[in-house]
């Protein structure tokens, strides 16, 4: 059988654990609850929660007074929270503490007079929340997704502050900081990439070098899982991104002796176990 190395950091981060546990708790306590979007980018978990009557909200207009809404780990803009309060709904705030930290840092930068550059994915719910806090505090700023974007949008400002979406790629963040540093007079940087993300990315980099093939598990829409797969593929071209065990193909493992496995922050342990089990089956004769 091939040697299978599973990254210690694979799977739910603590922010996702809080959100999923809160959603399960809300379903049990209130018999019905909504989440403001899929609680995590993982279909299997979303389906499990639906059985507890915890469902994704289609539109805020469907809410009635007294309904329960869980704010996901991504957080929301302050005006969304106010709107929910005005509707008289019961709010469970499962915003990850690391995301709240980004909100605080944005406010601090605005108070200190900085123009804010957010290193993140335009349109991502977390980034929408961060932009909401920027707007609320009266600040100005932009979101940049890659170096090309940064160069194209580069603001004519001398005093610039930087924060990152919590799941950003560390290498891009460092490259962007280097570029900005050489083009402004005054710079303040808060590396708000969360520990769970940086530890996971570092471990994938190490593992991808040691093995013949890498399997990255997680939702195809999960940004942090996609970034893990990109990081791994850049080091080890034999990298496959799968959502579940059924997607694995036996031929990938032919002649492979060492297999590395990691998973995004929204991948439950039971899916990781199923994938590992399937790899064992495929490689039992090798
Ligand atoms: Fe929070 Fe980081 Fe997870 S920001 S939700 S601990 S990936």
ipTM score of complex: 0.98
Catalytic residues: 126
Q: From ligand 1's centre to the CA of 13, what distance in Å? A: 6
E strand spans, the chain: 3-6, 33-35, 54-56, 68-71, 90-93, 115-119, 141-144, 159-164, 186-189, 213-217, 239-242, 258-263
DSSP SS3 for 236: coil
pLDDT tens digits for 116-134?
A: 999 999 999 999 999 999 9
Query: Residue 24's pLDDT is what?
Result: 93
Query: Ligand 1: which residue has its CA nearest to atom 1?
Result: 15
Strands 141-144 vs 54-56: parallel, antiparallel or unpaired: unpaired
Closest CA to 175 of 200, 209, 149: 149
Q: Which two tokens stand for residue 53?
A: 């009557």
Query: Residue 45's pLDDT is what?
Result: 85
Is 166 a pocket residue for ligand 1 (Cβ < 6 Å)? yes
Q: Which helix (H) or strand (E) holds 283?
A: helix 269-283
Contact 204, 17 (CB under 8 A): no
Contact 183, 155 (CB under 8 A): no
Is 94 a pocket residue for ligand 1 (Cβ < 6 Å)? no
Is 73 a pocket residue for ligand 1 (Cβ < 6 Å)? yes
Which of 14, 190, 218 to mutate to test ligand 1, by most ligand atoms within 8 A of the CB atom?
A: 14
Query: Residue 39's pLDDT is what?
Result: 87
Q: From ligand 1's centre to the CA of 224, what distance in Å? A: 10
> How many residues comprise the chain?
286
Is 194 a pocket residue for ligand 1 (Cβ < 6 Å)? yes
Binding residue numbers for isopentenyl diphosphate: 41, 74, 124, 222, 224, 266
Q: From ligand 1's centre to the CA of 194, what distance in Å? A: 6
Query: Residue 202's pLDDT is what?
Result: 94
Angle between helices 97-111 and 14-30 (to 10 degrees): 110
Query: Ligand 1: which residue has its CA nearest to atom 5?
Result: 15
Binding residue numbers: 13, 41, 74, 96, 124, 166, 194, 222, 224, 266
Query: Residue 32's pLDDT is what?
Result: 94
Tell me the average pLDDT of the chain: 94
Closest CA to 232 of 254, 248, 209: 209
List of the chain residues with pLDDT < 50: none
Is 225 a pocket residue for ligand 1 (Cβ < 6 Å)? no
The minimum-distance atom of ligand 1 relative to the CA of 15 is: 5
Query: Residue 42's pLDDT is what?
Result: 80
Is 259 a pocket residue for ligand 1 (Cβ < 6 Å)? no
pLDDT tens digits for 175-219?
A: 999 999 999 999 999 999 998 888 999 999 999 999 999 999 998
């Amino acid at each position: 059988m091939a040697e299978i190395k599973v990254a210690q950091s694979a799977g739910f981060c603590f922010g996702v654990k809080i959100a999923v546990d809160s959603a399960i708790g809300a379903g049990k306590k209130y018999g019905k609850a909504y989440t403001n979007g899929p609680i995590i980018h993982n279909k299997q978990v979303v389906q499990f929660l639906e059985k507890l009557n915890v469902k994704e909200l289609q539109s805020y207009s469907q809410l009635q007074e007294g309904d329960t809404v869980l704010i996901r780990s991504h957080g929301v803009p302050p005006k969304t929270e106010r709107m929910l309060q005005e509707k008289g709904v019961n709010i469970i705030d499962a915003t990850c503490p690391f995301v709240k930290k980004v909100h605080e840092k944005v406010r601090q930068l605005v108070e200190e007079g900085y123009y804010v550059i957010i290193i993140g994915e335009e349109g991502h719910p977390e980034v929408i929340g961060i932009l909401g806090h920027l707007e609320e505090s009266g600040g100005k700023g932009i979101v940049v997704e890659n170096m090309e974007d940064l160069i194209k949008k580069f603001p004519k400002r001398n005093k610039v502050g930087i924060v990152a979406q919590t799941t950003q790629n560390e290498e891009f963040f460092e490259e962007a900081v280097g570029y900005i540093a050489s083009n402004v007079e005054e710079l303040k940087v808060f590396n708000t990439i969360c520990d769970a993300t940086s530890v996971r990315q570092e471990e994938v980099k190490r593992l991808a070098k040691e093995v013949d093939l890498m399997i990255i598990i997680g939702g195809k829409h999960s940004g942090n899982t996609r970034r893990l797969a990109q990081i791994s593929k850049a080091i080890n071209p034999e990298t496959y991104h799968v959502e579940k065990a059924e997607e694995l193909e036996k031929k990938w493992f032919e002649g492979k002796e060492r297999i590395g496995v990691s998973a995004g922050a929204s991948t439950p342990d039971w899916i990781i176990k199923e994938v590992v089990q399937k790899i064992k089956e495929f490689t039992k004769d090798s």
